[in-house]
């Protein structure tokens, strides 16, 4: 690893050498997890480079290849698993300058990876009345490239499913890290090689995504004294094929009262809260359905309310923002990511609640998977020890609820704990020296790893 | 019933008195059914009136009320159950002149009932790049009012569900047939009073419908030697949440070879055919899925093919057009309407095929119901006798496949064989003399009817 030589060769690019900003650019939202905070807090790159275009990306990769410098690529760093953190140091490649929306067509957009989700939506809406199908709750600050390389779904997934589902990414243009970097275009089955691969096997330089109509979504809060009734309502709503929604989130009591400052004055401690986004032309259908559940109360709708202080956008209470809001009030809170899959989702949810509430409070996101409505759980956990956290994971797994552990920094542990052969195979081809975001793909480092305990990358920087 | 007095009072309106055109306006596509053909062929109105606006509709209803003249309202008459046929004669009210598209907004349109589906789509597309969510295969000739009053779903229902589902109709404006007709506006739960009520309890004068984006749908034909593999593919496709489709139809062999003239040169007798409409930006996802089933062959896509003669639009092979095409080749063909509901749809389909093919050939339409992908069967039946037809219905029902009998002219028999209290209750209020489309609502005529055999309206015109 010859850092100085690489820096010198890249000196004509936009290189950041200020210690404070290198440190900032070496971090993501890993601190959501006390486990990761403990292990990654000291991690820092040697330098940060911000290419302006694909040619400069190629130059960075080529130079770093030559000097054996690891390259960890990042967007806004709003991921939660340390996926954008340079475990071995080296170069952080920041794609913030590659933010152009290149073309908007009916049903699709072509964009550079560093474009903020918010800016992408604004451009699509202005040019064509369209918007992206789904986005993370960090829409205002996150990039589309980061969302694809490090995310899995979000607001909109209650209708469109997850990013990995066929049709939710159309095309990715990717640069490899070889002696002579290649430019590849991936579609169809090939997309799985590099989407949600944390930049471990290629750098995405252009993205083609499907679009949906941009409506003035009506954002709402609904309360219920009965948690399961609220959960069933969210599910029933998502099963109404004629009602177009973009978000259906359930927060077990007392999440709303304790952690949602601007909502708190309008709810009681025993209120389960539902957060919703419904298309304006589906509001009649929505209110008809709501009227069938007289025990539910519509307490807020963004287009017609008398709250003194607006709660802000409702999706910024859901997905990973729920944990963020809870953390701000109670630093001992962390979370889990659970799959409550069809058809046992309601049983599993009820069972986990009986076993673990209030140590673990449900935060459920309606999600479509394989054409069925199910729930992703981003459960809030009152953290005590790592052992207890592992126990809670095990209780879920034993009951049949798959856990995507957000307290791990590798692709496998944050996923289904199995090697993704498509990603591994492509890494062999595209990153022969293993310099892209090292330490994040166990299959590359240690093919025989048995997942009995947390993986620890042997070459991680030593804490000072 | 004082026909002459009513005609005289309405003489300033557009009244049709020519025998041939009165006869034409007294008929719909009831002749799809040999059973209905036998019973309704002679039915004819005394006169036809074509109001130009709501005020004239009110005038017609008021005058006919006064003179006890039955009023049967029709659009284009493309229904299949005699629903627009004046069983007792009297007045046929034809809404063809009420065809204005009044306003197009994001996600919704306001339109008069006599507007052709095709013209409605053209206006929505031109003004806003939108189109209606679903339409019957008679899109080119049918009206939006007829679709709502007499239809249940169609092309688009594989994504949006049925017309009766919440959100698929926003608002209906309805005129009653009382001494002083009232104008009512229905939304939400109230919509069920008059939608799919054949105009038996009020006349729809204005419609507000949700819209979806108008894409240049790619229309395709795919073949398979394996019927169940084709059916599973259609189902799998509809379960891909990220692939936007508007049609997925399966035709059992040899339907394509025998009845689809322009497709026949491209298929063999043992080919099951799948008809599809996929959004252009979902084509990559679609082809990826298709690639996983190497036994399926894409033989036609509308945007790229080398067929000498275009097959025309693919949706005009599906829904009720399938029966129409078969009938043209073999007049002994008729059909059934079957619900192959989730989760047993594939088993039921296979079972019925084993029991009845080739006397009954599957024609399946993918449909969303309650958030699940299932199939509507518009099975082609080689007709022999009414007894055998009833037997075939019973075989389906015994196996657990609900049949909506298209060989009946009443709401109940064409539906779930139960009284719709909402429709009945509203008829009491809105049509106290029972003059609206008489003979179509059994609950009104004969509350104790037991459905043991086909209902026969006592006051039906005698055949000459």
Read off the pLDDT of residues B281-315 as tens digits, 9 standing for 90 and up.
Answer: 999 999 999 999 999 999 999 999 999 999 999 99
* Residue B412 forms part of a structural domain: no
A286–chain B nearest CA distance, Å: 8
Whether B271 is in a domain gets the answer: yes
Token pair of A268 as six digits: 């009681």
B95-142: per-residue pLDDT in tens? 999 999 999 999 999 999 999 999 999 999 999 999 999 999 999 999
Domain total in chain A: 3
Strand runs (DSSP E) across B133-178, as ranges? 171-175
Q: For residue B98, which of B201, B169, B236, B203 has the smallest C-alpha distance? A: B203
Q: Are residues B87 and B108 in the same domain?
A: no
- Which residues fall within 8 angstroms of residue B39, CB to CB, at 6 or more apart? B409, B456, B460
Rg of chain B (C-alpha set): 22
Chain B positions in Cβ-Cβ contact with residue A211 (cut-off 8 Å): 281
CB neighbour list of residue B205: distance below 8 Å, 6 or more residues apart: B54, B57, B98, B112, B113, B173, B174, B175, B183
For residues A350, A352, A355 and A359, what is the CA-based torsion angle, rounded to 10 degrees? -120
Domain for residue B39, yes or no? yes
pLDDT above 90 coverage of chain B, percent: 97
- Interhelix angle A227-238/A283-291, nearest 10 degrees: 140
**Residues recorded for chain A:** 464
CA distance B60 to B48: 11
Note whether B186 and B223 are same-domain residues.
Answer: no
Task: Examine the domain organization and report whether B91 and B114 are in the same domain.
Answer: no
Position B419 scores a pLDDT of 80
Mean pLDDT of chain B: 96
* Residues A89 and A111 both lie in one domain: no
What average pLDDT does range B52-71 have in this prediction? 98
Domain presence at residue A320: yes
Question: Are A260 and A294 in the same domain?
Answer: yes
- All residues of chain B having their beta carbon less than 8 Å from the beta carbon of residue A166 are 240, 242-243, 285-286, 288-289
Query: B464 pLDDT exceeds 80?
Result: no
For residue B233, the surrounding DSSP H or E stretch is helix B227-238
Same-domain status, A92 and A197: no
Token readout for A28 is 């993501």
For chain A, give the longest Cα–Cα distance. Answer: 69
Helix (H, G, I), strand (E, B) or coil at B111: strand
Chain A closest-CA separation from residue B380 CA (Å): 28
What parts of chain A have a pLDDT lower than 50?
Answer: none
Q: A238: which chain B residues are within 8 Å (Cβ-Cβ)?
A: 371
Contact status, residue B280 vs residue B206, Cβ threshold 8 Å: no
| A384-A389-A390-A396 Cα dihedral, nearest 10 degrees | 140
Q: What's the confidence (pLDDT) of residue A310?
A: 95
Residue A26 domain-assigned (yes or no): yes
d(CA B83, CA B437): 8
pLDDT of residue B17: 86
On whether any CB of chain B is under 8 Å from the CB of A17, the answer is no
Q: Do A398 and A380 sit in the same domain of this protein?
A: yes
Nearest C-alpha neighbor of B15 from the set B61, B48, B64 = B48
Lowest mean pLDDT among A207-216, B11-20, B413-422: B413-422
* Closest-CA residue to A250 (of A265, A229, A266): A229
Alpha-carbon gap, residue B417 to A1, rounded angstroms:
78
Residue B222 belongs to what domain range? 218-403
**Spatial contact of A250 and B174, defined as CB atoms under 8 Å apart:** no
Q: Is the ipTM of this complex over 0.90?
A: yes
Q: In this complex, do A243 and B166 lie within 8 Å of one another by their Cβ atoms? A: yes
B223 and B206, same structural domain? no
pLDDT of res. A416: 81
In this structure, are B75 and B11 located in the same domain? yes
CB interface of A with B, residues 173-232, below 8 Å: 187-189, 210-213, 215-216
CB A320 within 8 A of CB A138: yes
Q: How far is CA B197 from CA A54, B419, B433, in A?
A: 61, 12, 17
What confidence score (pLDDT) does residue A419 get?
80
Could you tell me the CA-to-CA distances from B271 to B299, B301, B336 in Å, in that order? 11, 17, 22
Residue B265, token pair as written in the block: 């040169």
Domain stop point among A367, A387, A403: A403
Residue B461 within a domain: no
pLDDT for position B404: 92
Give domain status of residue A450, yes or no: no
Chain B CB contacts of A342 below 8 Å: none
- Indicate the residue among A353, A386, A403 that finishes a domain: A403
Helices B345-356, B386-399: crossing angle, 10 deg rounding? 150
pLDDT for the residue B129: 97
Q: Which of B198, B184, B133, B126 is nearest to B160 (CA)?
A: B133
The dihedral sign for the CA sequence B442, B447, B452, B457: negative
């Amino acid at each position: 690893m010859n850092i100085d030589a690489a820096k010198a060769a890249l000196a004509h690019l936009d290189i950041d050498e200020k210690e404070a900003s290198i440190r900032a650019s070496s971090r993501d939202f890993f601190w959501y997890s006390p486990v990761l905070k403990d292990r990654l807090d000291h991690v820092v790159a040697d330098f940060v480079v911000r290419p302006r275009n694909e040619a400069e990306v190629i130059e960075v990769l080529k130079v770093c290849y030559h000097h054996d410098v690891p390259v960890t690529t990042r967007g806004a760093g709003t991921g939660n698993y340390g996926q954008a953190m340079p475990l071995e140091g080296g170069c952080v490649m920041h794609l913030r300058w590659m933010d152009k929306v290149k073309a908007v067509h009916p049903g699709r957009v072509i964009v550079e990876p560093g474009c903020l989700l918010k800016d992408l939506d604004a451009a699509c809406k202005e040019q064509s009345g369209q918007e992206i199908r789904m986005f993370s709750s960090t829409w205002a600050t996150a990039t589309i490239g980061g969302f694809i390389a490090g995310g899995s779904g979000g607001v909109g997934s209650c209708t469109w499913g997850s990013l990995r589902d066929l049709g939710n990414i159309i095309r990715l243009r990717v640069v490899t890290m070889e002696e002579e970097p290649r430019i590849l275009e991936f579609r169809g089955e090939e997309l799985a090689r590099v989407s949600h691969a944390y930049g471990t096997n290629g750098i995405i330089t252009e993205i083609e995504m499907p679009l949906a109509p941009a409506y003035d979504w009506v954002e709402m809060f609904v309360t219920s004294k009965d948690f399961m009734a609220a959960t069933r309502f969210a599910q029933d709503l998502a099963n109404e094929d004629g009602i177009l929604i973009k978000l259906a989130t359930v927060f077990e009591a007392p999440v709303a009262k304790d952690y949602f400052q601007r909502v708190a004055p309008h709810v009681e401690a025993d209120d389960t809260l539902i957060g919703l986004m419904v298309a304006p032309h589906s509001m009649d259908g929505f209110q008809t359905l709501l009227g069938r559940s007289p025990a539910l109360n519509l307490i807020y709708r963004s287009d017609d309310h008398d709250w003194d202080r607006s709660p802000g956008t409702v999706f910024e209470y859901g997905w990973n923002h729920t944990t963020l809001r809870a953390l701000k009030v109670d630093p001992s809170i962390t979370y889990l990511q659970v799959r409550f899959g069809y058809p046992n989702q309601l049983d599993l949810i009820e069972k986990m609640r009986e076993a673990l509430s209030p140590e673990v409070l449900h935060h459920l996101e309606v999600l479509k998977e394989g054409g069925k409505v199910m729930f992703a759980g981003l459960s809030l956990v009152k953290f005590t020890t790592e052992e207890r956290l592992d126990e809670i994971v095990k209780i879920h797994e034993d009951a049949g609820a798959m856990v995507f552990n957000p307290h791990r920094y590798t692709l496998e542990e944050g996923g289904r704990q199995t090697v993704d052969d498509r990603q591994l195979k492509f890494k062999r081809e595209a990153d022969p020296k293993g310099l892209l975001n090292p330490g994040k793909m166990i299959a590359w480092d240690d093919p025989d790893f048995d997942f009995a305990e947390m993986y620890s990358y042997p070459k991680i920087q030593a804490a000072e």
